[in-house]
Structure 1
């Protein structure tokens, strides 16, 4: 595939949603939120936070992994968020 075709096949970061799953008073969650906010702000991607203490299903699924980052509903990272890896997942 030519580089031009590969570049046009990339997704637009603004079409993605990043979800940060964490809990209050969690230093790793706060650090992850800073990375998510910076990368999403830079690329124009939407992002949201979800509190596992308010959602039993999220609690059961992710308690031992928080913070967890989802990109368009698929698990992307947990514990620590690598900004370069997140940029790449968002198509940058």
Structure 2
């Protein structure tokens, strides 16, 4: 699921869950001092076909951690486990 960065948040325009997911990912990554990148899945047909309706989705080191409703504890565990 490659994209640049350790933590990647996949979103799309007009997605109401994406705004909430962005807040969760931004809060956890800021707390842990880890940057994150955001990717609009509709910019690339391959990314759009990979995620479809599973946005927001967050990956850590290329592994899908969560989608739709991003759980801050699950994201923290993923970051701690792959450090």
Please indicate, yes or no, whether the TM-score normalized by the shorter chain is above 0.5: yes
What is the alpha-carbon distance in structure 2 between the residues aligned to residue 57 and residue 29 of structure 1? 19
Structure 1, unaligned runs of 5 or more? 1-15
Larger radius of gyration: 1
Structure 1 segments of 4 or more deviating over 6 A? none
TM score, norm. by length of structure 1? 0.78
Gaps of 5+ in 2: none
Q: Which has the higher helix share?
A: 1
| Count of residue pairs brought into register by the alignment | 77
TM-score by length of 2: 0.86
Q: Deviations over 1:6-27 (max 9, x none)?
A: xxxxxxxxxx721000111211
RMSD: 1.4
